[in-house]
Amino acid sequence: MAVVSHTPAARQRVERLDRIWRERPGLVGWLTTTDHKRIGLMYLFASLAFFAAGGVEALLVRTQLAAPQQGVLSPAAYNQVFTVHGVTMIFLFVIPISTGAFGNYLLPLMIGARDMAFPRLNALSFWIYAASGIFIYTGLALGHGPDAGWFDYVPLASRQFSPDSGIDFYALGLIFTGISSTAAAVNFVVTIFKLRAPGMSLNRMPLFCYAFLAVSFALIFALPALTLALVLLELDRRLGFHFFDVAQGGDPLLWQHLFWIFGHPEVYIIILPAFGIATSIIPTFTHRRMVAFPLVALAEILVVFIGFGVWVHHMFAVGLPTAITIAFAAASLVIVIPSAIQLFAWITTIVAGTPDFKTPLLWIVGFIVFFTIGGLTGIMFAAIPFDQQLTDSYFVVAHFHFVIFGAAVFPILGGLYYWFPKVSGRMYHERAGKISFWVTFAGTLATFFPMHILGLLGMPRRVYTYHHGLGWGGLNLLETLGSYLLAGGLLLVAANLAISLRRGPPAGDDPWGGDTLEWATTSPPPPYNYAVIPKVTSAYAMWDREDRVEDARRLERGELVLEQGHETPASTVLDAEWDEVLRMPPSSWAPLALAAAVSGIFAMLLLGHVLTATAFVALAAVVLLRWHSVEPQDT
Amino acid sequence: MSEVTRSSRAVGGAAVARVARARRTLPNGWWGMLLLAAAEATLFGTLVATYFYLRLQTSPWPPVGISPPSVTLPLALTAVLVATSAPMLAAARAARAGRRGAALRWITLATLVQGAYLAVQVALFLDDLSKFDPRQTAYGSVYFTLLGVHHAHVVVGLALNAGVLVRLLGGLTNYRVIGVRAVAMYWCFVNAAAVLVVLTQISPAL
């Protein structure tokens, strides 16, 4: 039930808001937008494009491995393809689609805000992300893709063994992406802290937002380790420094430590948005509140916190002292507890409620199944002898694909179905949606489950082929067929949504009886999100009917409409008491221009033109000065 | 709740001071800078950890042929830099109170001292480079990287000061006040990082 009001005063206010918040038309509107929903959609389409690219790479890998001694890809091409597949799926697909697309589009809506805290910074995050993705793919297109695996271990990645520029594309490209992720994370935290609707104290904030708060903090504290590692690597490769070179006092294990100090929190950065999506979909389709709300909120934060103390379990086989490895093995077992709290809370909510297994909830059930499988194999790796036996085998590949594809991507796909009516204003095809789920589910099992067995049989990961007579051919063929089935399922999802975009029946504002605020506004939402800023009294704002009726009355009275410009309220951090009214910036060319200047810096660094790179730094400074010369009172 | 503070519109000393008093929480720009400083502090923490990680691999440290770092001058320089936190915080205070002239003067004073600090540090950096090479040993690599990263942060801080000064010349607005507060916080972070960096730098001589 949306805010419906037909009095002339209310209509006038809505018309006034429409006029104030009107976006520039056409392509210019998209290039200069600072609207979180438009930026979210650009993130969505860009990350789906990279998903398609990463998917094609995965199919190439599977086709090459379908039978022994195949020649679809040369060994060199194979190395580039599997490396870029990993980099794409993690840095250019899962994180951007979950934080950039879902977070950007939904988070301000869920907290009753009209935009993110820093709208221009938000646009900058997107353009830098898009440019860094193109940067990395330029390397691949020129035949200089990175080829040392997504974790890029030295000495293989050092200049001596990888003289090609592929590793430089990787290192500079990931520093480049890191700028975007850091900016986005800062933006999310400030938005969550300061822009919540009046009354939405922290204990009334939806669990989805808790997940994004946790992810943002993880990004802020994890990315610097990766950035530093990449800078040191480039100093070694380009200027002849010796951070990773044993002969001159360096140490290759330094790379592994720095990488995994980032890399393990990264796993939770990937999976937590999926948890957030699950905690949105489950209450809506089981018609009851989440079980153990405070525990789930705490577990979301705790999983990130503990996630910073387990990185050495990626290095059990490198010969570290036993005392150290045992401590990290224990920490890796402890992290099971907050994960299990959430798992049991989801299951209990479904069992205790009255579940309606529509397509979005089906994807969440699939997610629970796969997260259980991937989680259980994860616990096995906390056992040091087990890890030492199976590290670098296909068992690891099975484990992390169940976690990343099964547990992180399934809720993303479920979320696409769940919020499709809100974003497009139309319904998808329910029956086709269920079919697409089952096809993808079967494809996922067939692709990744046999990898466990192959790992136990001794098949190593990252080999471009294998010999006849090892007994691996049958299972590999099954996996390859499974991957085609999986791709077919994903195409069904894409077709369903693409066709429904044109032909789907109108969805209305709240087709599901959803629990959070985004269902209170129209589908799709207007640029200002809410004609009247909602006031919130519980974590399930849409189920408080009285409050939403009161919103409509306030629109008639003109209370909390904020119609004097691009305005949104700011509130106190803990209790969300209304503090002041902020004016948000209008559309601007500055973010795109700054992203272009930063792209120039990285391109010139890659080519080794330090002087030209410095010129681009100066250009960026000029753009920044222009950026800050447009102040709120001038707009 | 009917008392709406439209703080973004405040222009001029009196209006700016009024919205600063009415605001109960810290502004968004302050939070944004705090989080950026948190990320940058993590970068410095990891870099210092890298230094000591490499130090554990090598004995003696610094390696034979490289003399231990001098102690007095870097410590004195750091003390000077840390002292500039005071004028920066005074500038933030003056800006919040709507006193534009005082804010301008405090930032100018801080900028002059910070600029002099950077000039001496660059001279020392070049002098060190003439004595040993970052391409010879891991010690040299991490020594120059550690100092270079911090000097880069000082350069960024000076650029921020310049930007804020240029904007303040055009008058005081709420937006610029928040800018001054954010830049002051940035300097507090850079100066705290300077202490960490200098203690790491001189540690072999202690």
pTM of the model as a whole: 0.96
Q: Does B145 touch chain A (CB under 8 A)?
A: yes
Q: Cβ separation of B145 and A248 shorter than 8 Å?
A: no
Q: Cβ separation of A628 and B167 shorter than 8 Å?
A: yes
* Tokens 């937002």 -> residue: A209
Backbone angles phi, psi at B12, to 5 degrees: 95, 155
Mean pLDDT in consecutive groups of 10 residues from the start of chain B, 206 residues: 76 93 93 97 98 94 94 97 98 97 98 98 97 95 98 98 96 96 98 98 94
Contacts of A258 in chain B (CB under 8 A): 46, 50
**pLDDT score for A3:** 53
Please report, as a single letter, which amino acid is at residue A353. G
Band the pLDDT of A634: cuts 50, 70, 90.
Answer: confident
Nearest to A243 among B5, B25, B138 (CB): B138
Q: Is the pLDDT of residue A1 over 90?
A: no
Q: Is the pLDDT of residue A558 over 90?
A: no
Q: Does A546 touch chain B (CB under 8 A)?
A: no
- Dist. CA B183–CA B128, nearest whole Å: 31
A511: three-class secondary structure by DSSP: coil
Q: Does B64 touch chain A (CB under 8 A)?
A: no
The size of the A-B interface in CB pairs under 8 A is: 152
**pLDDT score for B2:** 47
Beta-carbon count within 10 A of B39 CB: 20
Band the pLDDT of A467: cuts 50, 70, 90.
Answer: very high
Task: Classify each residue of B58-94 as buried b or exposed e, where b means 16 or more C-beta atoms within 10 Å of its C-beta.
Answer: beebbbeebeebeeeebeebbeebbebbebbbbbbbb
Q: Cβ separation of B35 and A220 shorter than 8 Å?
A: yes
**% of chain A residues with pLDDT over 70:** 99
Average pLDDT over residues A322-328: 93
Beta-carbon count within 10 A of A537 CB: 14
Q: Does A305 touch chain B (CB under 8 A)?
A: no
- Dist. CA B60–CA B71, nearest whole Å: 18
Nearest to B57 among A190, A224, A251 (CB): A251
Best to test chain A binding among B11, B18, B26, B46 (most A CBs inside 10 Å): B46
Q: Cβ separation of B28 and A190 shorter than 8 Å?
A: yes
Q: Is the pLDDT of residue A25 over 50?
A: yes
Q: Does A320 touch chain B (CB under 8 A)?
A: no
Q: Is the pLDDT of residue A118 over 70?
A: yes
**pLDDT score for A80:** 96
Q: Does A249 touch chain B (CB under 8 A)?
A: yes
Residues A564-618: tens digit of each pLDDT: 889 999 999 999 999 999 999 999 999 999 999 999 999 999 999 999 999 999 9
Average pLDDT over residues A458-482: 96
Nearest to A194 among B31, B58, B174 (CB): B31
Please report, as a single letter, which amino acid is at residue A617. V
Contacts of A554 in chain B (CB under 8 A): none
